[in-house]
Amino acid sequence: MRIPLARAGAREIFLMTLIVGVPAAASLVAAMSGWTWLWPVGIVLGLAWVWGVAFFRDPERAVPSESGILVSPADGVVVETVDLDQHPDVGGPSRRISIFLSVLDVHINRSPCDGVVQLMRYEPGRFMDARNPDSGRLNEANTIVIEPDDPADGPVVVRQIAGKIARRIVCDLKVGDRVRTGQRIGMIKFGSRTELIFPANSSFRPSVRMGDKARGAVTIMARRREPQPEQADNEPIGVRA
């Protein structure tokens, strides 16, 4: 049976257990033995340990079976949907959807589509609040460029961006790896930001708005717009009899 915790958090979970969990358990045992003043100490430390472990939760997710979609690469709130005149990893005009992850969100990152990793680039930087639009440009970040199975829809870019609290970005991929829609690709430890970027001239159109809540591998961020059939020049517009 799989334990629903991220392997990347094993060190932090061990340290929290040693520093917070063990004293919490000792305080509660002592409180039950008559040292009643230790009840508040044990409860506060115990809740802190539970919260710390819960941060590294890694639940299973049911990926939508719908074709022609990009799923969310992270849990959080959509804080930006913007068109860009140029993006270096796309090579032209692009659309960017940004997700803010609070310390209460699941911090596992996931692939938005099927494809092959074409580029990986780590960029050292600052640790501004991830809700700040400039954080995507100035903060520590890791860029993953995926060539989707349909090259006409790509490239698709996922950017893992550190936040004010986050200090470590984890990514399990390397160039040449094949990824599946919703596959785990890494995580960002503590508050952070994740961006999904795709060409503006692709067939994908955003299906979320600012303020929407996103769930990694579940929420559909963009759908492929099917081409409309052409009407005959002399056919009236409307419902055919």
Point out the residues that are catalytic. 192
Q: Cα–Cα distances in Å, from 26 out to 21, 22, 32, 40?
A: 9, 6, 10, 12
Maximum C-alpha span of the chain: 92
Residue type for position 216: G
Helix (DSSP H) and strand (DSSP E) numbers for the chain: 4, 14
Q: By three-state DSSP, how is residue 128 classified? A: coil
The rounded Cα 155 to chain-centroid distance in angstroms is 18
Residue 17 bridge partners (DSSP): none
Contact 190, 103 (CB under 8 A): yes
